A and B are shown apart, each in its own frame.
Chain A
Amino acid sequence: MRVKAQVAMVMNLDKCIGCHTCSVTCKQVWTNRPGTEYVWFNNVETAPGQGYPRQWTDQERWRGGWELDRRGRLRLKAGGRVKKLLTIFSNPDLPTIDDYYEPWTYDYETLVTAPLSDRDPVARPHSQLTGRPMEVTWGPNWDEGLAGGPELATADPRLRGLEEQVRMTYEQAFMFFLPRICEHCLNPSCVASCPSGAMYKREEDGIVLVDQERCRGWRYCVSGCPYKKVYFNHRTGKAEKCTLCYPRIEQGQPTICSETCVGRIRYLGLVLYDADRVEAAASVPDERDLLGAQRSVFLDPEDPEVRAAARREGIPDDWLEHARRSPIYDLAIRWGVALPLHPEFRTLPMVWYVPPLSPVVSTLEADGYEADPDDVFGAIDHLRIPLAYLAGLLAAGDVEQVRGVLHRLAAMRAYMRKREVLGETDASLAAFAGLSTGELERMYRLLAIADYGDRYVIPQAHAEMGDRLLQQQGTCGLDFAGGPGNCGAVDPRPDTTSPVVPTDGERFHLVDLLEREEHRGA
């Protein structure tokens, strides 16, 4: 047993209202720079829908993640090391910018400088890549809320095989929002795909990062990640990805997306896992066993043996205390209501999701009536479409797993409704969910009330583990040219022929470097 700690996340899809506050605040902090215009470390897509980049879930096309070879051993779906080196001059599986979208801005200046006229001036879209006027024909959320109708939504690869059952008519359609960040996987195929060894998983908290100094721009992480959550900064020529806001996590604070989440759907906490079991769990032959295998990698923070082993690995005591109170362990393991996103990619993702019960309930409440709990149980079983779809999303197609989770959630609702409306405590509903009444009420508090202190249980990084904190005072650790936002050395806006686009593609200025050296010397 080799115990490691991982900062993990759970999102409660029932409560996501698709407001995109998380995406915007994340972008504002991390990717509001030339070269990352098209990059959304956090994005919220509509399901069913194509997602961002378009149809990213289709691994037959993108070849991200892992698969089993004929002898049942784990290998990268895109091919092994030799193949990667031989095809290094042109990555065969790389998405192009159009698979994301061509970033644009508007020539706002015309609003100010337009001559007096009868008609209002219009700011036109300009491509941020070419500087030229463009027609906007696709964007990061083009099919938001099923916009674009059946043609766009049915292009969701997850709907394959469900065409017969899927109803896209207005009354029968179902949808929910799926916020996504990097999964900070236990078995990250991005790390495995990077030929330069620039990507790594942090030992202490499991955050997956790209070493900007060692990245050489081979782009295999971009194609190797099945969730398409590594992005290529076309200005710096380096890969970038969600950092799980590690400067905040190290201070015990939640990530920006979590902190600002309007629906309060996000949970952050520690899980302990056995690093020695990761590979075996990722290699189980039957995809439907993957969920169980992934759960079995987690270690019970109450188990004295686990705690002793954790201490031997140097995990501090206060971290173990945090692991004990972890909302992630509650939701994913103790109560079993959170599921991993596309476990069949075999990367052991560490952002899990509570599946949405609302699409089920809302079909029953269409006429303005409150759904009867008994109807809800029946409906879960009968609404095969959402169930099969959710199973494809969160359980590698295992409908029983999703049904079980939805039943537990429905039981919780029914139990609480009875308690609130009739003042009755129905222990049979708790038993149905497989929990004590006390635990069921705790689950209700965590999911429905979702107090800040319950949602985020994040230990601080330990300064005494290194001598570098002092050196880092006053910097944010992201202090590199082209680095994000306010704390990095921001590139000066270079000459440009475009009124809109601040790029000349220059990546290395001899003169700049010399000047920088001079400043350093001075």
Chain B
Amino acid sequence: MSAGSILLWVILPYAAAATFAVGLWWRYRTDQFGWTSGSTQMFESRILGWAGPAFHYGAIAAIGGHVIGLMIPKSFTDAIGMSESTYRWFSAIAGAVAGAVCAVGFVGLVYRRATNVRVRRATSRTDLGVYLLLVVLIGLGCYLTFGHNLLTKTPYDYRETMSEWWRSLFVLQPDVAAAEGANALYQIHAIIAWAFWALFPFSRLVHAFSIPVQYLGRPYILYRRRWPAASGGRRR
């Protein structure tokens, strides 16, 4: 086990996870005013109209797929009698759909950001960093889903390598060997992903934690008191 391995497969994931958690908490405490989706829709609405939803819905599906794929051990699917090929086709097709929708949307978003001067001028350095990481993440992810899973006779079984390592992180006994043994492309995908989560709290990605589900249950008109001394907010 080399120092490099420990850095990549032990220190990086924990440091990134810690940065993610502490960073989010700190940002939430100190920067409510900066917490926003940072929309550029008023500059360009036509492409965003399809690219925005495609990217977001695709990304949500892809993240969900990762959670399922990484969390559920092979022994579990074996135990419930799901054959390797059933699992493979399920994950490959679902992953491919999610990845394709997300990637198409993402290409649209990058295109409008690059070609529309107004949008480009509204792009911060942090935005650029996020975009760069996403290019690699989504690009690699799609390549692996299509090339190594959907369209090949010999699908790569990440469940014996990356998944093992990923789950081992949670029990605080990182299985470095499992990660070391994985395909290099999977390794890069994982490393970039950790960088992405580390940058997350300091970018406008934080708006993902503000999906306003409470809207479904609240009264339409909200009142607030100027002087809170009297009573809490009263509503119609």
Contacts and interface: CB of A to CB of B under 8 A. Distances in A.
Interface string B199-217: 0001110010011111110
A217 B39 contact: yes
Given A129-B43, A468-B227, A513 B236 contact: no
Interface string B15-39: 0000000000000001111111111
Interface stretch (A89-97, A354-362, A396-404): A89-97
B121 interface: yes
Interface stretch (A196-204, A288-296, A297-305): A196-204
A513 B31 contact: yes
A211 B118 CA distance: 27
Interface stretch (B64-72, B122-130, B137-145, B153-161): B122-130
19 contacts: A81-B215, A81-B216, A82-B216, A85-B213, A85-B215, A85-B216, A96-B44, A97-B42, A130-B121, A203-B225, A203-B234, A217-B37, A217-B38, A217-B39, A218-B37, A234-B43, A466-B228, A505-B123, A508-B31
A505 B37 contact: no
Which range contains the number of B residues in contact with the other chain?
Answer: 35 or more
Given A192-B220, A505-B121, A513-B30, A90 B49 contact: yes
B119 to A, nearest CB: 9
Contacts of B33: 212-213, 236, 238, 480-482
A278 interface: yes
Which range contains the number of A residues in contact with the other chain?
Answer: 35 or more
A217 B41 CA distance: 11
B223 A195 contact: no
A508 B38 CA distance: 10
Interface in A459-506: 461-462, 465-468, 480-482, 501, 503-506
B57 interface: yes
A212 B122 CA distance: 20
Interface in A175-234: 187-188, 191-192, 195-197, 199-205, 212-219, 232, 234
A517 interface: yes
Contact of B32 (A195, A202, A214, A275): A214
A322 interface: no
Contacts of A466: 226-230
Given A85-B215, A213-B33, A507-B34, A467 B42 contact: no
Given A192-B220, A216-B210, A503-B122, A87 B230 contact: no
Contacts of A107: none
Contacts of A232: 39, 42
B77 interface: no
B202 to A, nearest CB: 6
Nearest to B216: A81
A196 B212 contact: yes
Given A129-B121, A191-B222, A201-B221, A87 B42 contact: no
Contacts of A216: 35-37, 207, 210, 212
Contacts of A90: 41, 45, 48-50, 52-53
B42 to A, nearest CB: 5
Contact of B222 (A76, A199, A215, A504): A199
A217 B33 CA distance: 11
B118 A130 contact: yes
Contacts of A506: 124-126
A44 to B, nearest CB: 23
The CB with the most chain A CB atoms within 10 A, among B40, B55, B127, B227, is that of B227
